[in-house]
Amino acid sequence: MSTTKAEEIGQVPEVDDNETEQEIEEEEEIKVNNYNLTDLKNACDDSIQKYFTTKEEYSQIHTHADVKLILGYLSCGFAMFGGYYGHITPFGDSKTVVIGCVIAYLILNSISFIYTFFIEKDIIFDGKKQDDNINHKIAIYTNNKRYSDIYNITFEFVGEGTTGNKINIKTSKFSISKSFGYWFDVNGVMDQERFEGTLKEGLEAAKTGKKPHNQ
């Protein structure tokens, strides 16, 4: 009786490895509309963030997002307070406060606009990690011009280490420009292995300052 139960417990359904791998591949497949440049760019941008956080193990820095969120919350706060105060207070008494809230709202939105276009720019990933007592920082900028299928990736690398009491800082940049068709087939499916290979080449070139052989 006990043997039978042990055998029953020990019976584990066999799992087809090929089916499992196929399911994973289907879940991870990236497919977009080949005729939509925005979709193509967004797919590449998302893949860059995923690659550097999972494959290269960088910790993403959220400074830019945090700054814009704070500015957004503050501007919304002034707008809501101004609207509420104007609603419960006679116009003559609330005019100064409401105008002040409107001015604050406009200033905060202007700051957010300036921050986005002059400081954050085209950055889509900002990360850091420590390796062999060396602090690495990587910033990735991407863009593609209107009506152009060329996707531009700029890698900005900063390495900080110490030699004795001396701090050594190395900064370098490397850019890659390729057509979306280099990574996407006619059906809009991304060749993720090829795209990750491009990212790996760009990162190594930014680290070492040496261009890949195919550049």
Rg over alpha carbons for the chain, rounded to the nearest Å, is 26
Predicted local distance difference test score (pLDDT) of residue 22: 52
- Tokens 């001396």, residue located: 166
Local structure of 213: helix, strand or coil: coil
Given this model, what pLDDT does residue 174 score? 96
Report pLDDT for 134.
80
CB 129 within 8 A of CB 58: yes
> What was the pLDDT predicted at 6?
46
Q: What is the model's pLDDT at position 12?
A: 47
Our CA angle for 85, 87, 89, nearest 5°, is 65
Length of the chain: 215
Per-residue confidence (pLDDT) for residue 213, from 0 to 100: 64
- CA nearest neighbour of 65 among 152, 110, 123, 129: 123
Per-residue pLDDT 10s for the chain (215 aa) are 445 544 444 554 554 555 545 544 455 899 999 999 999 999 999 999 999 999 999 999 999 999 999 999 999 999 999 999 999 999 889 999 999 999 999 999 999 999 999 999 999 999 999 887 788 899 999 999 999 999 999 999 998 876 667 777 889 999 999 999 999 999 999 999 999 999 999 999 998 887 776 65
What residue segments make up the domains of the chain, in order of their start? 35-61+124-208, 64-120
Which residue type, as a one-letter code, is found at position 202? G
pLDDT of amino acid 214: 62
Q: Tokens standing for 60?
A: 């993403």
Residue whose entry in the numeric block shows the structure tokens 């940049």: 173
Residue 107 has a pLDDT of: 98
Asked if 128 contacts 58 with a C-beta cutoff of 8 angstroms, the reply is: yes
Q: How many CB atoms lie within 10 A of CB 101?
A: 22
What pLDDT is stored for residue 23 in this prediction? Answer: 46
Q: Helices in the chain by DSSP H: which ranges?
A: 2-10, 17-28, 37-50, 63-88, 91-115, 192-208
Q: 91 vs 74, 94, 100, 103, 105, CA distance in Å?
A: 24, 5, 14, 17, 19
- Give the pLDDT score at 91: 86
